[in-house]
Amino acid sequence: MVQGSPFTVQKLFMPGTGPRWLPYGVLILIVAAAPLVFSGRMSYYLSILSLAGIYAVVVIGLNMLMGYAGQISLGHAAFFAIGAYTSGILSTRYGLSPILCALPAVAAAGSVAVLIGIPTLKLKEHYLAMATLGFGIIMYTILRADPGSMTGGIQGMPNIPPLQILGHAADSDRAQYTIVWSTVILVFLFSTNILESRFGRALMAIHKSEVCAAVLGINVFGHKLQVFVLSALYAGFAGFLYAHCSPLKYLNPDDVAHVILSIKFVTMVVIGGMGNRWGALCGAVGLTVLPEVLRLMSSLLHGISSTDIEMACYGLILIMVMILSTRTRKRLLPIPAENTLTQHPIRQ
């Protein structure tokens, strides 16, 4: 794939062309060092990093869908919410041990994704964006309206039990951080392997041109559906982590299912440069830490709420990154070149 082309930074992250394990080693070192830095009174920051890790799982999945396959989903918070609520309901109302909830949570998100994906992925571009957005809003409405008196509606769902591992409850910030980030690393390696396989290359071909991909014998719809479901599985798993591994122990439709959360996930993918795995990871951490930075600076903001500034930042980031990326024809970080085959001739 890269043989014979000139050296790029990109090659460092590709198989067989350089010190492949170096970046992973650095990642593991950073992850392991964080609890040492943020110890004692500063362990609050670990809980923020845990949240970043949970979002990172969603973003890694969404990046496969958006960056690699070139599709768009504005409703990924819905799958996140399905995972979180399935796990929350099973563990509080049916007393299932939290760790056993992971499978049903992921399965629920996956099966909804199959049901939604089959009709939705036949649509393209605008229609796909709106259909996924519409699905996200329906999910949010259902969770708020609480038809079966299961989700607690607007009041939310309190007292979700923490994970039990070997008889110990993972209740501290540090334990949650360890669980979350070790799964993030596993998920990251897993998706790296998927993307560097035949499947990943097929996705990139679909992104370049669906017609070309189909001519090459790639089952376009099948691959789109698979990557959509896969990204939903990631989101469902992240939802499960959110339910049991965040210090809140509380689920609320506004926190887990809101449209703004879906847009936040898209922003995280976009800021990292769509199609860049490392970028997605950095985007997730960066944008989760951003509100904390804004909160620290709140004295400078003269009464403007930090959530509004956060929202404005997302908006400006989306606009700027997208404009820059089209103007320079590359993303902020070195990654495969932009889709040029399917563009309108006049707008080129």
Partner 1 sequence: MTSPDQLAQYLFSGITIGSIYALIALGFTIIYNTTGIINFAQGEFVMLGGMCMVGCTHILRLPVPAGVLISVACVVVVGLLIERLSIRPAHGASVVTLIIITIGVSITLKALTAFITKDSFTYPPFPGPEHVRIFGASMPGQSLWIIGAACCIMVLLSLFFHFTIRGKAMRACAINREAAYIVGIDVETMSFLSFGLSALIGAVAGIMVTPTTQMAWYRGMDLGLKGFCAAILGGLGSSPGAVAGGLLLGLLETFGSFFVSGYKDAIAFALFLLVLFIRPRGITGRGR
Contacts with partner 1, residue ranges (CB under 8 A): 66, 70, 72, 74, 119-120, 122-123, 125-127, 129-131, 133-135, 137-138, 141-142, 145, 259-260, 263, 266, 270, 304-305, 308-309, 311-312, 314-319, 322-323, 325-327, 338-339, 342-348
Q: Give the type of residue at 173.
A: D
d(CA 71, CA 66): 5
Least CB distance from residue 62 to partner 1, whole Å? Answer: 13
Least CB distance from residue 86 to partner 1, whole Å? Answer: 20
Comparing CA positions, the residue from 116, 60, 112 lying closest to residue 83 is 112
Give whichever of 14 and 319 is closer to partner 1, judged by the CB atom: 319
Least CB distance from residue 309 to partner 1, whole Å? Answer: 7
d(CA 20, CA 325): 27
Give whichever of 33 and 322 is closer to partner 1, judged by the CB atom: 322
Least CB distance from residue 96 to partner 1, whole Å? Answer: 29
Give whichever of 139 and 184 is closer to partner 1, judged by the CB atom: 139
d(CA 104, CA 24): 30
Give whichever of 16 and 315 is closer to partner 1, judged by the CB atom: 315
Give whichever of 50 and 132 is closer to partner 1, judged by the CB atom: 132
Site of tokens 């070997």: 166
Query: From residue 7, how far is each of 21, 279, 333 by CA, in Å?
Result: 18, 20, 15
Question: In sequence order, what DSSP letters do the residues of 96-165 get, joined into one string?
Answer: --GGGGHHHHHHHHHHHHHHHHHHHTTS-HHHHHHHHHHHHHHHHHHHHH-TTS-S-GGG-B--PPPPEE
Least CB distance from residue 21 to partner 1, whole Å? Answer: 33
